[in-house]
Structure 1
Amino acid sequence: MVKAHRCKKLSCKEQPLDPERHGRIESLDVNSSPSLLLNIALALQHVLVLSSLCALVVETLIQEVDKDRIVAYVFFNSGISTLLQSWIGSRLPLILAPSLDFLIPSLALLSAQSGTAVACRGQCTEPEEPVAPAHPIRELRGMAVVAGMVQLAVGLTGLGGFALGRCGPLVLAPLLCILGFSIYREAALFCSDHWGMAALAVVLLVILSQHQHYFLRLSVFSVCKRLSVLLSVMVTCGVCAALVRWGHVHLNSVTQIVSTKRNATFIQSRNSPHSSDFVFPNDSVPWLDFPLPAPALPLLSGKSIAAGVAGGLSSSISSSAVYVVAARLLKAPVPPAHACNRGLCVDGLGSVLSGLMGAPVGLCSSVPNACVIGLSQSGSRSTVQLTGVLLLILGVSPQLAQMLCSVPLAIHGAVLGVTYTLSVATGITYFQHADVDSGRNIFNIGFTVFMSLALPRWFRLHSSFIQTGVPSVDVFLQSLLTLPVFFVGVLAFLLEHTVSGTLPERGLVRHEGTKKILSLADQQQGYSYSPNAVYDPPPLVMKVLDLSGLRTVPFCACRSPPVEEVVVTVPEMSSLLPDKDAAVSSG
């Protein structure tokens, strides 16, 4: 009896950890296929996160009667670009959407048109006699087309993959951190519409994604964790709708929020408040309207070209960083050069298509949608492809797009605030691979992060400092110098390659066989599958890229490198044969 009791204790000790107790669920990788209902719910979650970016970028720029139709156009273009990205682009489960990389240059462009300091984002004074803007939408569309051409050029020339391959941990860490910090002002602005609703959404997000495994079964916990964003938004929207109906809460539109924070004359407040749109959708918006190319061509003025070049450069840096975030959250290898270049080319095609179809902003890889992978522990490519199909459906129905964008701004702010934090956390993880006690690294990190936050703020506060006498140059400089992602990308890359330091100090190692310099972040992280399984395009696309006419120009940077064949020498074979014969004879 004593022996049996002891064996029972030992068997209990040897049992594996209970996943229900420790809150661990099996993550879905790129090639996994969730169940149909779970896949639809995950796709709806991505659509809700994308609508938060549209509320920030599109509704801030467009305050016209056909705004809902333009939002539908953005959804439609985003759906097409997302499908292309998952098929022939980087192949990562990413959503293409507008971002701050296009919002800030657009505000600088509109500021140059109207004579107001719009690009200061609420921190500048208004001139005494503003001038009404001329053709603002056409110039914004022209900016989107130019930005797309810049993204295409960065991808086709291989510059994006070349730069990403030379970004060690001390470049990626500050870049990803600033990428996450870049949204804090706008997220706080949206949350200020109603801090109670924003706090409720944030608390639900944290509980559903992190804490509720203590009192739920594993199956229920798995669903709640994967759909934490969707469930939080739905519950908060229900509470908000009830309070609005009873008259206890009054919500504002993006225009009303922004207009109270800055004196921008080109933005007019809407007659109806945002709360009435949230409760009673506008019946004048059509249910079905297939997107067609805009009758008027985009306007390519000097200022729109300057803003487009700035937006294209910044979005290229941002998209490359998003590729790294998605790969890190998926525990996949860092994207190779050819996958990064293909992804940037698809971003460029999406931006050009967006401008030609009538949308005033370009497209690049969405940061919050990539960060949702970390919250949901699901990065299936099939989910992203289904999201693209849903975006196409929303794109042909302005009424559905309006209903989706009628989510209260405080909830949009909460979604953006929580999702962007994962980019900051992912950047911090890269510091472990370098010598953080090194004086060189301490200076590089501190200088890069501080200057990337301080200088763009200073240039927003003193927009009149840039006066070259050439409006297009002013717009270009004002756009670049107020983009934190561009600042941190350039500063971190320059300091990393100009300040002397040893390879281990910089988080790098030299491969013994090929003598190539590799990142310790790639060497120390174990991967469950090879890069080819994640980033290689379908066989049909690979055959097209391998055609003799496309091997050099213009798709040479988008092709996978040839596989090196390992040749086994004769002495090695001869050394193996005697052992085999000896083994046979002994048997």
Structure 2
Amino acid sequence: MSAEAPNRPHGLKYGLDEIPKPLPKAMALGLQHVLTMFGATVAVPFILSPFLEFDSGQLAILISSVFICSAIATFLQVQFGSRLPIVQGVSFAFLGPFIGIALTYQGEDAMRYIAGAIMAGAVVEMAIGFGGIGGLLRRYVTPITIAPVIALIGLSLYDATVINASPNWWLALATTALIVLFGLVLAPRSRMISLFPILLAVVTAYLVCLLLSVTGVLPETVAGYVSFGVVGETPWVRGFDVGGGGLIFPWGTPLFDLGFFFAILAAYLASTIESFGDYHAISRIAGAGDPDAKTINRGIGMEGVGCFFTGIFGGFSSTSYSENIGLVGLTKVASRAVVLIGAVFLLLFGFVAKIGAFIATIPGPIVGGVYLALFGLIAAIGLSNLRRVDLDSQRNLMILGIVLFSGFVFPQYFGNYAGDEWSLFGIGWLTSIVRAIGSSGIAVAAVLGLLLDNLVPGTDEERGVGTYDLGTKDPVIPPGDMQGV
């Protein structure tokens, strides 16, 4: 990783190598990461379950597998990959290809093809990372590309927020209000509160819902009612068998299809660029400066390794979780140890299925309220990169406007207006790739940003190349320009 930034970021409570003490505090901080990612982690299995035609038992196995895969991928990333405090979890970028596979094959057969596509694509991602290709992006990815990509990571998740919050907006808004109360109003007055704003908000909202549910004030038909039925139906411990719902290849041996492979490569592209932006965002928050080429290469390569294990253990492709980066920005706790503790909790939830089932009783509107607070923070962190570029430049404003707006326009077109008959020159695999990229606002922003910023003429100072160090506000004075200083 690059050398530490000359100044520790204002308000940073724990740096990369610092361990919160005592241990219960560190454990609570790690659990807070799990609670932050829980909604998105469980959402993908629930979204895909109807397409897969899974029953409740199969869904329980799928959720358990997702927890285990996230734990393994997080450990590999933090310990051997980028070595940044990044939580790995299920990526929404892969939903399109996965749904396409589920519409072709149902049930466990679909999961076998999904596993095959994940593992094949993971090999490509590993080659890009460990082959040194990922680090080359540093030469071409400037703040003009990074800023809209990170911003769209947060903004594009508005739909997940609406889906979770819409059954009970009052509860969602109350949860957001609690986050503001704990994170912005009370945090400056109490160090302990400043460390656990999300956890305190979620626990407070959950206890209120539980009390209203037990007393009958909140009926079962209202979103926010806490039901423990799923806990009783879930077994205590996950089996260690191979196949048949066991730990390894729970859906059977993977199956491979060339069309699915090309379709999922576009999702890997979006995931890689998203992670590239996440590495920069978390480095800035942690005060570590720009991640160097080796850090990026290790991070991308290890994400590929994590995805490969995902195929083995029957889950879905993993990537860096932006909401957890937002949590680090909110709590100012950038400790690797905290994230590794979170990985232990994830592994525990995967093996002791009833624990995960109990957390699943958290009402969706509470999760939506958390998203409402964190996803906007991610967008703001992304846009803050623009302070390094010349915002008086018509070139930069035009490129940024096109990239940001296209991140919303193209997914709308491919999702609602480009029918099944749409084709690019009649080439099936190429059409699948273009559709997959066009359906992801993050992928659209990454591709357009890279092309426009590197093809349209502009000076390095105008583009923010080498002008500012990430995480500082002071311009870097090139050697030989020290006169008068």
Fold-level similarity (TM above 0.5): yes
Deviations 1:180-227 (A, max 9, x none): 11101121111102111101110001111111257xxx4xx2111210
SS of the counterpart of 1:109? helix
Question: 1:225 corresponds to which residue?
Answer: 194
Cα separation, partners in 2 of 1:406 and 1:473, compared to 1, 3 Å: farther
- Which of 77, 83, 86 aligns to 1:94? It is 86
In the TM superposition, what are the counterparts of 1:542-557 in structure 2 within 5 Å? none
Question: 1:432 corresponds to which residue?
Answer: 387
Q: Distance in 2 between matches of 1:213 and 1:394?
A: 30
Structure 1 residue 371: Cα displacement? 1.3
Question: 2:233 corresponds to which residue?
Answer: 284
Question: 2:4 corresponds to which residue?
Answer: none
1:239 has 2:208 as partner: yes
Q: Distance in 2 between matches of 1:364 and 1:382?
A: 19
Q: Distance in 1 between matches of 2:296 and 2:273?
A: 11
Q: Distance in 1 between matches of 2:287 and 2:471?
A: 12
* Contact 1:106-1:307 within 8 A present in 2 as well: no
What are the ranges of 5 or more consecutive residues in structure 1 without an aligned counterpart?
1-23, 115-131, 254-273, 509-517, 528-587
Question: 1:356 corresponds to which residue?
Answer: 312
Query: Could you tell me the percent identity over the aligned residues?
Result: 25
SS of the counterpart of 1:97? strand
* Contact 1:209-1:225 within 8 A present in 2 as well: yes
Q: Distance in 2 between matches of 1:389 and 1:177?
A: 30
In the TM superposition, what are the counterparts of 1:241-390 in structure 2 within 5 Å? 241-245=210-214, 246=216, 248-250=218-220, 275=225, 278-291=227-240, 292-294=247-249, 296-359=252-315, 361-390=316-345
1:141 has 2:98 as partner: no
Q: Distance in 2 between matches of 1:244 and 1:140?
A: 39
Amino acid at match of 1:237: Y
Question: 1:192 corresponds to which residue?
Answer: 166
* Contact 1:190-1:413 within 8 A present in 2 as well: yes
Question: 1:7 corresponds to which residue?
Answer: none
Deviations 1:54-94 (A, max 9, x none): 12212211243221222111111211221111111100011
Deviations 1:128-161 (A, max 9, x none): xxxx778222222223223322321221222221
- Which of 157, 162, 171 aligns to 2:145? It is 171
Structure 1 residue 280: Cα displacement? 3.1
Cα separation, partners in 2 of 1:323 and 1:72, compared to 1, 3 Å: same
What are the ranges of 5 or more consecutive residues in structure 2 without an aligned counterpart?
1-9, 241-246, 476-485
- Which of 455, 470, 475 aligns to 1:522? It is 470
Q: Distance in 1 between matches of 2:170 and 2:209?
A: 10
Q: Distance in 1 between matches of 2:107 and 2:86?
A: 35
Q: Distance in 2 between matches of 1:368 and 1:251?
A: 30
- Which of 155, 158, 172 aligns to 2:129? It is 155
Cα separation, partners in 2 of 1:411 and 1:104, compared to 1, 3 Å: farther
Cα separation, partners in 2 of 1:363 and 1:26, compared to 1, 3 Å: closer
* Contact 1:147-1:310 within 8 A present in 2 as well: no
In the TM superposition, what are the counterparts of 1:492-531 in structure 2 within 5 Å? 492-508=449-465, 518-522=466-470, 524-525=472-473
Q: Distance in 1 between matches of 2:263 and 2:217?
A: 43
Question: 1:535 corresponds to which residue?
Answer: none
Q: Distance in 1 between matches of 2:389 and 2:297?
A: 27
Cα separation, partners in 2 of 1:348 and 1:97, compared to 1, 3 Å: same
Cα separation, partners in 2 of 1:311 and 1:147, compared to 1, 3 Å: farther
Cα separation, partners in 2 of 1:251 and 1:408, compared to 1, 3 Å: farther
Alpha-carbon RMSD: 2.4
Amino acid at match of 1:449: L
Q: Distance in 1 between matches of 2:101 and 2:231?
A: 31
Structure 1 residue 429: Cα displacement? 1.2
Question: 2:24 corresponds to which residue?
Answer: 37
Structure 1 residue 290: Cα displacement? 4.3
Question: 2:377 corresponds to which residue?
Answer: 422
Q: Distance in 2 between matches of 1:236 and 1:463?
A: 42
Structure 1 residue 107: Cα displacement? 2.5
* Contact 1:290-1:395 within 8 A present in 2 as well: no
Q: Distance in 2 between matches of 1:305 and 1:487?
A: 20
Q: Whose Rg is larger?
A: 1
Question: 2:180 corresponds to which residue?
Answer: 206
Amino acid at match of 1:498: L
Deviations 1:25-73 (A, max 9, x none): 5521111110112101101101111211112212211243221222111
Amino acid at match of 2:34: V
* Contact 2:164-2:367 within 8 A present in 1 as well: yes
Q: Distance in 2 between matches of 1:61 and 1:252?
A: 24
* Contact 2:134-2:297 within 8 A present in 1 as well: yes
Amino acid at match of 1:248: L
Q: Distance in 1 between matches of 2:295 and 2:153?
A: 21
Q: Distance in 2 between matches of 1:251 and 1:404?
A: 20
Structure 1 residue 343: Cα displacement? 0.9
Amino acid at match of 1:87: Q
Structure 1 residue 519: Cα displacement? 4.7
- Which of 448, 461, 465 aligns to 1:491? It is 448
Amino acid at match of 1:37: P
SS of the counterpart of 2:255? coil
